[in-house]
């Protein structure tokens, strides 16, 4: 029951975030979606994910606000706006119709199949010595995926430093000091 | 069943933002909403009714835990989503420096 | 945060920041070290350590001593974290396969247990924390010397 209310709140906040003209208000809407997601992770009995989602959301908000201060855009309705909007909404409706029929094949909510996990739950504490099963899975049973994630983060940090580098920065600083 | 459908409705709102908006920051916000909806969908698949968190406790014998494998995969996905958003925002800042606007219909010069 | 002046925020914020930066850093280190006993782990703890350094720069402005850490030192520390994680993985070759957990498993519920998992947590937290701090520095500090074209 609480999950239904949280999801309805997230849908409302997402509509606000996508449609509002002011950029700062839409960033606050994205922050609301992220914090409601952290609450949903707590209700679904996943404390690791709740901690990580909370702190990542805070850092993401700081970065988004940095990019959007004092930079707005006036709305202009031009050309084939009506046709484009209706085409997108028709595509979304067809997608949701087929998704509804596909989702009936999944096992019902609260009754997972759990065929792979039986061995991890039964022997995880004895084989790795770790009490937290999620840590045992990401750092011992599936440590190769964690190596891949470390590589992706490294690549994104290098990419940001390469994009934001400005040649001739020292010359401008010397001009300022004169 | 309705929970899975509401997750996909959230995905479609993000998809509408990516397809129809002209401001680059709105497109990045749409991509972020798509990431949140897919993380939630994954964790919903592994929930067991009246289950407990996948952490052992002393002197207790815990029989029904929720599935820990989707949680391990989503933990990776959350941090990668942060890296994606940061890189897209830095590209948007460089575009604003060069063209003076965030509007995607005006970023068409192929030279200089 | 708006306009990010060179002097940072008001005196009230600076006084409170002196107290809270150490507490946030200590909390982050606690979550990293107890990753195999309670929820958390390397990624959440690393982001919290990065947030404590971001807190310091936001309160004290661009002229704080921490901001003088050049980009080279941050890049070197992040590469050091990644290399430590790889060396923990290669240590598994002593047992037979890549990434095998070779150290002594110990008793459960103790701090020094679970083989190589605490070392993996520490190296991942160094890498994630310093990397995210370098992203923040690149976005904030390198913005000040432009718009002169």
Q: Is residue C3 part of a domain?
A: no
pLDDT value for A78:
60
- pTM equals 0.89
pLDDT value for B8:
94
Residues paired with B65 in a beta bridge: B52
Q: Residue C42's domain spans which residues?
A: 11-148
Average pLDDT over residues A81-103: 91
Radius of gyration of chain A (CA): 23
Give the span between the Cα atoms of C96 and C131, in whole angstroms.
32
Residue B61 CB partners (closer than 8 Å, separation 6+): none
Rounded-to-10 torsion of CA A48, A124, A129, B53: 30
Per-residue model confidence as pLDDT tens digits over C50-85:
999 989 888 887 776 666 666 778 888 899 999 999
Largest CA distance in chain C: 64
Q: Are C117 and A136 in contact (CB under 8 A)?
A: yes
Residue with tokens 């908000």: A61
Rounded percentage of chain A residues whose pLDDT exceeds 70: 87
Q: How many CB atoms lie within 10 A of CB B32?
A: 25
pLDDT exceeds 60 at position B9 = yes
The string of DSSP codes covering B7-75 is HHHHHHHHHHHHHH--BHHHHHHHHHHHHHHHHHHHHHHT-BTT-B-SB--TT-----B--HHHHHHHH
Per-residue model confidence as pLDDT tens digits over C123-137:
999 999 999 998 888
Average pLDDT over residues C138-148: 60
Q: Is residue C6 part of a domain?
A: no
Give the span between the Cα atoms of C110 and C108, in whole angstroms.
6
pLDDT exceeds 90 at position B59 = no
Nearest Cα residue in chain C from B93: C139
Closest partner CB to B97 (pick from C38, C132, C146): C146
Per-residue model confidence as pLDDT tens digits over A42-82:
999 999 999 999 999 999 999 898 778 766 666 665 666 78
pLDDT value for A111:
81
Closest partner CB to A95 (pick from B12, B78, B84): B12
N- to C-terminal Cα distance for chain A?
66
- Lowest mean pLDDT across A3-17, A158-172, B63-77, C131-145: A158-172
Q: Which chains touch A (3 or more CB pairs under 8 A)?
A: B, C
Give the span between the Cα atoms of B18 and B25, in whole angstroms.
10
B81 Rama sector, left if φ>0, alpha if ψ -120 to 50, beta otherwise? alpha
Cβ-defined contact of A135 to C35 (cutoff 8 Å)? yes
pLDDT exceeds 80 at position A155 = yes
| CA dist A178 → A116, A171, A174, C82, C109 (Å) | 68, 11, 6, 42, 62
Question: Considering its fold, how many domains does chain C have in total?
Answer: 1
Q: Which domains does chain B have, with CATH numbers?
A: 2-47+67-99 (1.10.287.3510)
N- to C-terminal Cα distance for chain C?
25
Rounded percentage of chain B residues whose pLDDT exceeds 70: 96
Rounded-to-10 torsion of CA A44, A40, A60, B41: 70
Give the closest-approach CA distance of B109 to chain A in angstroms: 19
pLDDT value for C6:
67
pLDDT exceeds 70 at position C149 = no
Cβ-defined contact of B85 to A92 (cutoff 8 Å)? no
Rounded percentage of chain C residues whose pLDDT exceeds 70: 75
Asked if the C-beta of A130 comes within 8 angstroms of chain B's C-beta atoms, the answer is no
pLDDT exceeds 90 at position B107 = no
- Lowest mean pLDDT across A124-138, C29-43, C90-104: C90-104
pLDDT exceeds 60 at position A173 = no
Cα angle C86, C91, C92 (rounded to 5 degrees) comes to: 105
Rounded percentage of chain C residues whose pLDDT exceeds 90: 33
Q: Are A21 and A75 in contact (CB under 8 A)?
A: yes
Give the three-class secondary structure for B103.
strand
pLDDT value for C5:
60
Residues paired with A110 in a beta bridge: B48
pLDDT exceeds 60 at position A149 = yes
């Amino acid at each position: 029951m609480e999950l239904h209310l949280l999801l309805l709140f997230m849908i409302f906040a997402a509509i606000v975030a996508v449609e509002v003209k002011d950029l700062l208000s839409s960033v606050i809407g994205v922050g609301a979606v992220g914090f409601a997601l952290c609450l949903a992770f707590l209700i679904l009995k996943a404390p690791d994910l709740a901690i990580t989602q909370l702190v990542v959301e805070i850092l993401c908000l700081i970065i988004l606000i940095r990019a959007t201060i004092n930079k707005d855009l006036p709305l202009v309705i031009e050309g084939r706006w009506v046709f484009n909007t209706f085409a997108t909404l028709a595509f979304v409706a067809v997608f949701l119709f087929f998704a509804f029929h596909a989702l009936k094949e999944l096992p019902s909510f609260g009754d997972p199949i759990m065929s792979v996990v039986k061995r991890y739950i039964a022997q995880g504490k004895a084989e790795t010595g770790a009490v937290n099963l999620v840590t045992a899975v990401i750092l011992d049973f599936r440590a190769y995926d964690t190596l891949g994630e470390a590589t992706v983060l490294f690549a994104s940090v290098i990419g940001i430093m390469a994009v934001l580098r400005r040649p001739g920065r020292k010359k401008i600083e010397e001009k300022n000091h004169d | 069943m309705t929970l899975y459908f509401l997750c996909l409705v959230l995905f479609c709102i993000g998809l509408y933002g990516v397809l129809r908006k002209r401001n680059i920051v709105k497109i990045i916000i749409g991509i972020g909403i798509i990431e949140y909806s897919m993380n939630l969908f994954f964790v919903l698949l592994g929930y067991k009714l009246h289950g407990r968190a996948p952490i052992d406790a002393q002197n207790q014998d815990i029989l029904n835990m929720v599935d820990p494998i989707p949680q391990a995969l989503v933990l990776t996905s959350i941090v990668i989503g942060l890296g994606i958003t940061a890189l897209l925002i830095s590209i948007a800042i460089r575009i604003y420096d060069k063209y003076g606007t965030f509007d995607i219909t005006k970023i068409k010069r192929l030279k200089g | 945060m708006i306009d990010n002046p060179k002097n940072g925020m008001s005196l009230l914020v600076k006084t409170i920041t002196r107290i809270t930066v150490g507490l946030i850093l200590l909390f982050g280190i606690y979550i990293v070290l107890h990753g195999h006993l309670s929820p958390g782990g390397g990624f959440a703890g690393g982001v919290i350590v990065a947030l404590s350094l971001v807190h310091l720069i936001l309160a004290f402005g661009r002229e704080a001593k921490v901001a003088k850490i050049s980009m080279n030192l941050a890049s070197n520390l992040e590469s050091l974290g990644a290399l430590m994680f790889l060396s923990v993985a290669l240590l598994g070759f002593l047992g037979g396969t890549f990434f095998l957990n070779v150290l002594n498993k110990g008793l459960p519920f103790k701090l020094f247990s679970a083989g190589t998992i605490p070392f993996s947590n520490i190296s991942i937290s160094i890498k994630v924390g310093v990397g995210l701090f370098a992203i923040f520095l690149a976005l904030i500090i390198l913005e000040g010397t432009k718009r002169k074209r």
